[in-house]
Each structure stands twice: as structure tokens, then as C-alpha cells.
Amino acid sequence: MNEPVKAEEELFDVTIIGGGPAGMYAAFYAGMRDMKVKLIEGKGELGGFLHTYPEKMIWDVGGIPPIRCEALIAQLAGQAATFAPALAFNQRVDELQQRDDGTFVLVSDTGERHWSRTIIIAVGRGITEMQRLEVEGADRYELANLYYTVQELNVFRGRNVLISGGGNSAVDWALELADVAAQVTVVHRSGQFRALERNVAAMRERTKVLAPYRVVQLHGGEEEIRQVTVAHMESGASERIDVDAVIVNHGYKSSYGSLVHWGLDAGEYGLYVSERAETSLPGIFAAGDCAAYGSKVRLIAGAFADAVLAVNSAKRYLEPDAPGMAEVSSHNERFKERNKQLHRKR
């Protein structure tokens, strides 16, 4: 027997879990599809993992000139608000229930309950924890000149900076700091970098690269690191380098928390989805970094495409006869009055 919907149980067509690029774009696109939308974000603001590097320049979003990450977050958040979705902040969704009528109840860590006809999971990398530098005494410098993220480039102006890491973020920071720091040295355990070839080539031209090397010792007083010893991964030959700052980018440990207990089919790289962004549970879809499928593109632009697929599938789940996609914005009736207002402002 179906449970009656109480007056305080506001039912949404789709509830999006996660406020990163995929979640924000899904909220906008679901509005284009005339769906009643709620977005739940674990932190106090939209943006998700992008807040890790607010000053980083992003070049690879189609049609947008190079833009600082913090500015892109602001633009995406503004776009997400276009159709006034309901927003719930500072809540981690812990429990999933499904009622007899097929609708879902999401229970957060605060005890709040959310009712929805469909769900889009857009939690990115999930609950992330930075991989810390595994060198004796490293923790005592974390409030001084050992950094795990870069919030402000000017902190490193005119300084000798050592970066430990070999992924996209480490390479990107090396290039950003090459124009700011006096000297940038990049230390990586492998001779191969896990980053775009063009950026790796530029980094090798503009910075000092030690690979395959690893950081084995930090030297300094009680407050700051003054020197770093690095050792060759094969020969063990070591070198001592003068530094003013050390940036560690060894990646993140990720966890999907209670989502793993929902019965979703998941693996090392996230939640397995179909070509239509469908998870293994009917009515639940996934988009962005948490969604795993064969032709996955792990770029912000790819997150947007995932969001569109997830929303379209959610719409068709609710209304099987609905069009396969939203009317394009140039012809969409939802923009008719808004377009008139924009033209008046010119």
C-alpha cells in the first residue's frame, strides 16, 4: 500500500546530489525541461572540488576564454539559478529509501528528509582526502610553508618553490607559478607525467624537472622548511635543494561514503552507468566524475554532457513520451521573455 504524501513532504521531479559542475549544469538543464528541481550540496556553497584551486586558469571549456576557476564557479552558479531550483546546503545524503509508489526519500546527516521522483548523483570524486607527504616531520610545516593546494599565487611571488607530484594539477601549478616564482622545481616519482602532453612539454621548458625522484627529507627550523633532499628512484643518488615553499600534489583518496550501501553497481572509477547515464537502480542517474562508462571524458566539458544525458533520462523515466531532449535555447519557450529583457538592456 502506498504511503500518503503529507503536506510538508514537498515532492520534486529530480533531486541532484552534489553542487559541482555536473550538478550545477544539471540543475539548469532540468529547468529547461520544466522539471521541479532540488540540489543538495554537502558544503556551504556551490562549486564542489573546483574550490580546491580557485586561482587556477581553465582553458578547456568550449567557447569560454581562459578563466579563473573562481570566476567559472560564479558563472555556473548563476546559470544554475536560472529556473530557481531549491537548494539545500551543508547536508551529506546518507540514507536512501524508496516508497511503495516508487518515489524516493533521501535522509541527510542532519536528519532532514527530501522527497523526489528521480535522483541524479553528481558527487564528483566523493568525499576526498588529500594524500599527504609521507616524510617524517612534514606535518609540523603545514601551517608554515608546506602547501597541499594553492589559494593565492602571490604568496609564491619571487620565491623558490618545489612541487612534488606528476598529475594534471601538479603540472598546471608548475606552469602557473613559472611566471610568478623565482624558481620552480618539479619532483616526480616517475619519468612519465599523467598530464596533457603539451603542458608537460611546456613545464619541462620553463621549470627544473627532477624525474624519477622523490622527496625524502625536509630540513628547517621549528617554523619553516629551508631545504629539501630528493633522491633518484633507481640509483638512490640524492640532491639537496634550497626552497622557500613546498607544494605537494599527490592526488586524493576518495570515498563515496554511504552511497556504496545503496546497492549501486560501482567500481574503482565510480558508479557504472549506461550510455543514458542510468545507474543499476531504476530512477537513479549519475553525472560527472562519479559516473563511469567506456567513453568517459574527465573534463568539465564532459561533466556538462553527462548532466544533459542524466536529465534527459530522468525526464523520460517520468514521462516516457517526452521528447528525448530539451528544445534548444534559441527556440525554447522558457527563454522567450528572458530574451526580450536581455534585448531591452542592449
Region of 144 on the Ramachandran plot (φ > 0 left; ψ -120 to 50 alpha; else beta): alpha
Task: Kindly list the distances between the CA atom of residue 296 and the CA atoms of 166, 271, 272, 306, in Å, as whole numbers in the listed order.
Answer: 22, 12, 11, 9
**Does 6 reside within a domain?**
no
The answer to whether residues 243 and 289 belong to one domain is no
**Does 1 reside within a domain?**
no
pLDDT of residue 261: 85
pLDDT of residue 32: 95
The answer to whether residues 208 and 267 belong to one domain is no
Confirm if 127 and 143 have CB atoms less than 8 A apart: no
The answer to whether residues 244 and 275 belong to one domain is no
CA 58 to chain centre: 13
pLDDT of residue 11: 97
pLDDT of residue 223: 84
CA 290 to chain centre: 9
211-256 residue pLDDT tens? 999 999 999 977 899 999 999 999 999 999 999 999 999 987 767 7
How far apart CA 277 and CA 42 sit, in angstroms, is 22
Residue 43: which residues within 8 A CB-CB, separation 6 or more? 19, 51, 89, 90
Q: How many CA atoms lie within 13 Å of 293's alpha carbon, on the beta-carbon side?
A: 20
The answer to whether residues 234 and 168 belong to one domain is yes
The tens place of each residue's pLDDT in the chain, 346 residues long, gives 334 444 468 999 999 999 999 999 999 999 999 999 999 999 999 999 888 788 888 988 999 999 999 999 999 999 999 999 999 999 999 999 999 999 999 999 999 999 999 999 999 977 666 789 999 999 999 989 999 988 889 999 999 999 999 998 899 999 999 999 999 999 999 999 998 899 999 999 999 999 999 999 999 977 899 999 999 999 999 999 999 999 999 987 767 778 878 999 988 788 999 999 999 999 999 999 999 999 999 899 999 999 999 999 999 999 999 999 888 877 777 777 777 777 677 6
**Does 292 reside within a domain?**
yes
The answer to whether residues 260 and 246 belong to one domain is no
Cα angle value 212/173/50 (rounded, 5°): 120
Provide φ and ψ at 156, rounded to 5°.
Answer: -105, 10
The answer to whether residues 261 and 123 belong to one domain is yes
Query: Strand, coil or helix: what is 166?
Result: coil
The answer to whether residues 268 and 243 belong to one domain is no
Outline where the chain has alpha helix (H): 21-32, 69-80, 168-178, 197-206, 300-318, 336-345
Cα angle value 258/261/262 (rounded, 5°): 100
The answer to whether residues 92 and 139 belong to one domain is no
Q: List the grid coordinates of 9.
A: 513532504
Domain containing 77: what range? 11-128+253-345
Whole-angstrom distance between the N-terminal and C-terminal Cα of the chain? 57
**Does 4 reside within a domain?**
no
**Structural domain count of the chain:** 2
The answer to whether residues 242 and 308 belong to one domain is no
Domain boundary among the residues 250, 281, 315 is at 250
The answer to whether residues 191 and 136 belong to one domain is yes
**Does 28 reside within a domain?**
yes
How far apart CA 104 and CA 248 sit, in angstroms, is 41
Neighbours of 83 (CB within 10 A): 18
The CATH number that applies at residue 165 is: 3.50.50.60
pTM for this entry:
0.73
Domain boundary among the residues 225, 250, 275 is at 250
The answer to whether residues 68 and 151 belong to one domain is no
Domain boundary among the residues 250, 269, 298 is at 250
The answer to whether residues 119 and 175 belong to one domain is no
**Does 5 reside within a domain?**
no
254-297 residue pLDDT tens? 677 788 789 999 887 889 999 999 999 999 999 999 999 999 99
Task: Determine whether 337 is exposed, middle or buried from the number of CB atoms within 10 Å of its CB (0-12, 13-18, 19+).
Answer: exposed
